[in-house]
Amino acid sequence: MLKKPSKLKSTIRSKAKGKVNIAAGSEAMIELLTLLFLNRLAEEAKAKALEEKSATIRAHHVKAVAKVVLRKARG
């Protein structure tokens, strides 16, 4: 968050099917998107980890919640 995620723009551009440009402000918004998504993911994973009584978030926690969070972040 305190650092700018690098190559976000290029990532989006590469993933987009056609040719798209990304406005300057929209790049910041996409950052916001990723942050929100990560936030949600982290929260869910934390809850899942706590559910298993583990203070550490492990990979399988994240995996288990990933599907749900991804589906929620559709649009």
Partner 1 sequence: MDSTEDLTPRILLKQILITEPPRTPVGSSEPQAAGSSEPRRSRRDAEPKTPQNILRRSLRNKIQENITRKSLPLKRRTASAVLRQQAPSSSMMFDDGETPRHLLRNILQTEPVKSPVVHDKVAPAELQPPSEDNTVTRSRSSFELSGLDLPDVTMGNIASAAKGLSRKRPRQSLNVTAFEKRLKAAEEEPENSIGDHSSLSLSSSSSLSLKTPFVDVHTEKRGLQRRVSRRRKITEEEFCAARSKQQMGDVSREALQGREVGGEDTNLAGITLGLSKLSEPDVTVDIVNCQTALYDQHDALTSNFSITATQDKPAVMATQLQRDIQEEEEHRDEERQKSAEEEEEVVTNMEEDEGKENVDKTRDVSLKPEEKDDAVGFQTFDLDDGAEAAVDSQSEDVEGGSEEEEAAVGSQAEDEGVEQSPTEEETAADSQSEDVEGGSEEEEAAVGSQAEDEGVEQSPTEEEAAADSQSEEEAAVSPQAEDEGVEDSPEDAAAASPSEEEEAAAGSQPEDEGGSVVGVNQLQRDDEEKSDGADRQTDQDYNDEERNQEEERHISRRAFRSEGGLILPVVKATEGLSLIKSKSYSALGLNTSLERIQNQTGKPDWAKPSLQHLDEDSWDVNDPADRKNASFHLLRVSHDAEVSRQQEDVEAAAEEAGEQEEESDEEEDDNEDFPGKTPAFVREKIKFFTSSPPASPSVSKNLPASSASEALPAVKPKQARRRQTGLSRRETVLPKTYLTSVFKHFAKTKVSADVFPVLNEIMDEFFDRVAEDLETYAAHAKRKTIEVEDVELLLRRQGFVNDKVPVEVLIEKYLRLDQRKILIPIATSGNVVIPKIRK
Does 41 interact with partner 1 (rule: CB under 8 A)? yes
Q: What is the DSSP string of 28-51?
A: HHHHHHHHHHHHHHHHHHHHHHHH
Contacts 24+ apart (CB under 8 A), 41-45: 41/65, 41/66, 41/69, 44/68, 44/69
> Minimum distance from CB of 37 to partner 1 (Å)?
6
By CB under 8 A, how many residues form the interface with partner 1? 59
> Minimum distance from CB of 47 to partner 1 (Å)?
10
Interacting residue ranges for partner 1, rule: CB under 8 A:
1-8, 10-26, 28-39, 41-43, 45-46, 49, 55-59, 61-63, 66-67, 70-75
